[in-house]
Homo-oligomer: A and B are copies of this chain.
Amino acid sequence: MGERSAALLATRSSLWARRVVLNGLALLALCLALPTPAAADVPRVLPSWRDGPTREAILHFIDNASDPASLDFIPAVERVAVFDHDGTLCPEQPLYLQLAYAIDRVRTMAAENPQWQTRQPFKAVLEGDTDALLDNGPTGWSGLMSETHAGMTVEQFSSKATDWLAVARDPRFSRPYTELAYQPMRELMDYLRAKGFRVYIVSAGSIEFLRVLSESMYGVPREQVIGPTADLDFVLTEDGRAELVRRKGLRYEVGPGVKAATIYKAIGRRPVMVVGNADADLAMLQWVGSSLGPHLSLLVHHTDAVREWAYDRDTKVGRLDRALLEAGLRAWPVVDIARDWSRVFAFEPLPADPAAQ
């Protein structure tokens, strides 16, 4: 080997070595940086929310709650957010989803139950008189669930409800109910989880039904859906298997404060964030709003008859009157659907410039 070729080799070797080092460092950097992409690549959070005071108030609360340097930091164990279901996470018009299921069950089971033809609230269902049904109020129509969901194991109930959800369609949008989650709320729940919050759903209705859809529709595991449940009988079958069988009768409590009490019984703490849309949610909004530490009470107002529904005082489902007044007095942020959401459902296209839309 001549001097030049040896020197060339040395140069090549050291060039190669440099390249290896650089590549190694680049790989290492890539490897270390994987969890946090470069700032320029970060998509706008809450993309279906328009810019404005509501989105700002939400981000301000969440970002501070999860920032240890903030005065409004909240320890991870206390970061619990609770969402009402009907009207807060999906449409509740013309009927609560659980009620739509119970009505369908009544129709399916009517032939075997001739006594229902003359008995309320079954009579109203079989005559298609939804108004009369809603006039009976929740204590009235909860009987539908109690009767049609009883006498089967808890697993059989889940299986029947799953089958129904696969074929049932919302009467207005002609889509599976499971496609009607409010997209901005799904984004909000995702963002909360990314910031270390545990996200719960609360309902005054039959939560066994909601638990069938909560995981796929909202990413909320069944055990984070809270509310009243059917009483259960423990049964040992002839072949020695132990099963839980749904009993008739549902402990359905009404009255102010029921949802707040339900939440506390289920999770043992006052949430730091709660979202609702009706007067039935007022007490839990007040309860979280009375917390001494950082907190957020958020109220949804249905104002968009074109893309969803518009209602408040004059409705039999999800009446909103006092809670809206209270939100004004207490300065709780109000989600005005027409104003604050650039899209309502995932099947709508995302506007090109959602901030300005």
Contacts and interface: CB of A to CB of B under 8 A. Distances in A.
A24 interface: yes
A242 B295 CA distance: 14
Interface stretch (A3-11, A130-138, A169-177): A3-11
Contact of A208 (B256, B266, B268): B268
Interface in A10-48: 10, 13-14, 16-17, 20-21, 23-25, 27-28, 31-32
* Total copies of this chain within the assembly: 2
A77 B215 contact: yes
A302 interface: no
A192 interface: no
A261 B25 CA distance: 56
A286 B24 contact: no
Given A31-B32, A244-B261, A267-B223, A24 B13 contact: no
Interface in A208-225: 208, 211, 215, 221-223, 225
Contacts of A215: 77
Contacts of A232: 257, 260-261, 264-265
Interface stretch (A121-129, A233-241, A340-348): A233-241
Contacts of A59: none
Contacts of A154: 264, 270
Contacts of A9: 6, 10, 13
A290 interface: yes
A243 interface: yes
A145 interface: no
Contact of A236 (B225, B264, B286): B286
Contact of A221 (B10, B77, B242): B77
A228 to B, nearest CB: 9
A229 interface: yes
A198 interface: yes
Contact of A223 (B10, B20, B25, B198): B198
A229 B265 contact: yes
A243 B222 CA distance: 27
A290 B256 CA distance: 40
Contacts of A258: 234
Interface in A120-173: 154-155
A234 B283 contact: yes
Given A268-B223, A269-B223, A290 B241 contact: yes
Nearest to A212: B268
A207 interface: yes
Interface string A251-289: 000001110110011111110000000000001001101
Given A31-B32, A222-B269, 4 more contacts: A20-B21, A222-B268, A242-B257, A244-B264
The 10 closest A-B pairs by CB, nearest first: A234-B257, A24-B24, A6-B6, A222-B268, A13-B13, A17-B17, A223-B267, A242-B286, A232-B261, A211-B268
